[in-house]
Amino acid sequence: MPIYVFKCPGCEERVQETLPMSQSQDAPNCEQCGQVTQRDYGSEHAHTAPDSYAHTKWSDSLAVSIDQIGEHRRAFPEVKIDAQGRPGFDSYQQHDAYLKKTGFVKQPNKRGKRHATRIS
């Protein structure tokens, strides 16, 4: 399924959603202020830009349990976390610092991209 980016007209928060093409115009509400978002076509192609953190990167692999979201917000107030428990990063430095604090290390995968694994 394609990834779509929606932007809040009020607080300018961006929301990234993986949706079937048939639902590409179903704009979610902003998690910050509750307003209905609008498609942000320019950000959907941000992966081609040199700055890969042009919009918040949400991590499925570093997600926490929904029950732990409050605790996560207290422990890492500088890191966004969505309703699904996925942490979001706005810069490489923020992402790297989070991995170090939590004990994760980036490891190359088979395609040469990086992902995080936990050190025991």
Q: Which residue has the higher pLDDT, 27 or 98?
A: 98
> Same domain, yes or no, for 30 and 65?
no
> Same domain, yes or no, for 44 and 62?
no
Q: What is the pLDDT of residues 10-20, one digit of tens each?
A: 888 888 888 88
Q: Which residue has the higher pLDDT, 101 or 117?
A: 101
Mean pLDDT estimate for the chain: 82
Angle in degrees, CA 12, 58, 96, rounded to 5: 110
pTM: 0.49
pLDDT of residue 68: 95
Q: How confident is the model at residue 77 (pLDDT cuts 50, 70, 90)?
A: very high
> Same domain, yes or no, for 68 and 87?
yes
> Same domain, yes or no, for 70 and 89?
yes
pLDDT at 48 over 70: no
Element (H, E) at 58: strand 57-58
Angle in degrees, CA 30, 88, 11, rounded to 5: 30
DSSP label at residue 27: P
> Same domain, yes or no, for 73 and 25?
no
Element (H, E) at 93: helix 92-102
Angle in degrees, CA 89, 83, 23, rounded to 5: 95
> Same domain, yes or no, for 38 and 12?
yes
Place of tokens 């979201």: 69
The answer to whether the beta carbons of residues 8 and 32 sit under 8 Å apart is: yes
How many domains is the chain partitioned into structurally? 2
The arithmetic mean of pLDDT across residues 34-54, rounded, is 70
